[in-house]
A and B are shown apart, each in its own frame.
Chain A
Amino acid sequence: MFDFDATLPLMAVQFILLMVVLNAILFKPLTKVIEDRSTLISNSQTGAKEGLEQVNAITQQYEKALIDSRRQYQSIIAKAQAEAQKTASEKIAAAQAEAVAARETATRELAAQKISAMAELEKQVDSLSQEIVNKLLVGV
C-alpha cells in the first residue's frame, strides 16, 4: 500500500501539465469573460444612474413649470373674478339708481295727480255746495 515508486514524480509532472493546459483553455478565458461582464455591468449601471439623474432633473423642471403655471392661472382667475365682481357691482349700482329714479318720478306724478284730483274735487264740492245753496234759497 505504501509503495512509492516512479508514479509519484510522474503524477506531479502530469498535474503541472494539467494546470498549464487548464490555465490556457479554462481559467484565462473564463476569468476574462467574467471580468468583462462585470465591467459591462458596472458601466451600464453608471449609465443607468446618469439616466436616472437626467430623469430626476427633467421631473423637477416639469414640476417647477407646473407650479408656475398653477400660480399663473390662479392669478388669472383672481383677476377675472375681480373684474366680474366690478362689472356686477357697477351694473347693480346702475340698476339701483335707475330704480330709485323711476320710483321718484312715479311718486312725483302721483303727487301731481293727487293735487289735481283734489283741486277738481274741491271745484266739484264748490259747485255742488253752490247748487245746494241755490236750491235751498229757492225753496225759502
Chain B
Amino acid sequence: MDVSSASVIAAALAIGLASLGPGIGQGNASASAVEGIARQPEAEGKIRGTLLLTLAFMESLTIYGLVIALVLLFANPFVK
C-alpha cells in the first residue's frame, strides 16, 4: 500500500472515529437537557442556550478529526 492510498483510508478512519465519542456525548447532553426541560419547563431558554454551546464544544472534537482528514487528503506532508 503506498502512502496515498493509506492516507485516504486514514482520512476516512479519522473522521469516522472522531465522530464516535462526540456523538455519544451529544446524545447524553441532549437527553439530559430534554429531561431538564421536562422537569422545569420555565428554564427552557437557559437550558437551550447552554446546550447549544456545549454541543458546539463537542462538535469541535469531530472537527479536529475532520481537520486531520483534510490534512491527509489535501496537504499531506508525506506525499511529495
Show the binding face of A for B, using Cβ within 8 Å.
Answer: 1-3
Interface residues of B in 31-80 (CB under 8 A from A): 70-71, 74-75
Q: B-side interface residues toward A, CB under 8 Å?
A: 70-71, 74-75
Which residues of chain A are near B71, meaning CB under 8 Å? 1-2
Query: Whole-angstrom distance between the alpha carbons of A3 and B75 in the complex?
Result: 9
- Where chain B touches its partner, the secondary structure class is helix
Bound Cα distance from A3 to B74, whole angstroms? 12
What is the bound-complex CA distance between A1 and B71, given in angstroms?
7
Residues of chain B with a CB closer than 8 A to A3's CB? 75
Chain A residue, CB-CB nearest to B74: A1
* Nearest B-chain residue to A1, judged by Cβ: B75
* Bound complex: CA A51 to CA B48 (Å): 42
Residues of A within 8 A of B75 (CB): 1-3
Contacts of A2 in B (CB 8 A): 71, 75
Contacts of B74 in A (CB 8 A): 1
- Rounded to whole Å, the gap between the CB of A37 and the closest CB of chain B is 25
CB-CB < 8 A to B70: which residues of A? 1
The CA-CA distance from A2 to B74 in the complex, in Å, is: 10
